[in-house]
Structure 1
């Protein structure tokens, strides 16, 4: 496993832990949306700090103007919907169930996005191997949640 794979693995683990913590915050505050606001506010503060200590040169005005309107907002909208949903679902389904379903959704969407090259991600056509992987993913999801 190279360091990029390790970083991706650790980042995924961090997401699961932050979901559990922020779902608890949402339960204590009585609002998964308020917990989302707290999480995004903290994330904005930490991201701003990281930007200030790492940015050498900002984008030019022409670069900023060249960004399509939807790229400024759609990602944030999807993040807010997903995160608030996670914080709502975790106390009802449990962390493992919610993460396994969410991760499965992410992987299916990633395969489809990669197949079509959406948002300029590297094209990676769906083939029999990927279809087999998705079938194994769904089978694993069913095994994880099988109850007698």
Structure 2
């Protein structure tokens, strides 16, 4: 797949997550329980993901590969995801979707640049460069301007 198509998919994924956050924040606000909105989101997601595996997977699960996965990798992503998403659902009705999404993206951006530089989470290293620092600074200024009253 070419880089332009992959970038378009990444942009669409961001839009989908923002829309999902808006709807689920409404659910959490109406229920007065953001954690219940997270439970509904993840239950629905688990059902749909399972259906996608059944429909789109060409081969079964390789149990030998599954046994080689460290135990914590089966759960830690869900822990961080449900915690972060619950914060979104709690904060969107209080600070607005624009501020929440932009501040969330800022957190993701800052962490990803540092984690990439040091190769954290067993991922490939991606050194911080001057150009990258200028891009991060430009995005932080942009986030500040977006949220300026």
Q: Which TM-score band applies after superposition, normalised by the shorter structure?
A: over 0.9
Greater alpha carbon shift after TM alignment, 34-43 vs 53-62: 53-62
Is 2:44 the counterpart of 1:42? yes
* Count of matched residue positions in the alignment of Structure 1 and Structure 2: 147
Which 4+ stretches in 1 moved above 4 angstroms?
A: none
CA contact (8 A) 2:27 2:37 kept: yes
Distance (Å, rounded) in 2 between the aligned partners of 1:123 and 1:59: 29
Greater alpha carbon shift after TM alignment, 13-22 vs 61-70: 61-70
What is the deviation of 1:141?
Answer: 1.6
Distance (Å, rounded) in 1 between the aligned partners of 2:37 and 2:139: 30
What is the deviation of 1:77?
Answer: 0.3
Task: Show structure 1 runs of 5+ residues with no match.
Answer: none
What is the deviation of 1:52?
Answer: 0.2
1:69-89 deviations in Å (ceiling 9; x for gaps): 221111110001001000000
RMSD: 1.3
Residue 120 of structure 1 corresponds to 122
Distance (Å, rounded) in 2 between the aligned partners of 1:146 and 1:56: 50
Query: Where do residues 19-30 of structure 1 align in structure 2 (5 Å cutoff)?
Result: 19-30=21-32
TM-score (norm 1): 0.93
What is the deviation of 1:110?
Answer: 1.1
Task: Show structure 2 runs of 5+ residues with no match.
Answer: none
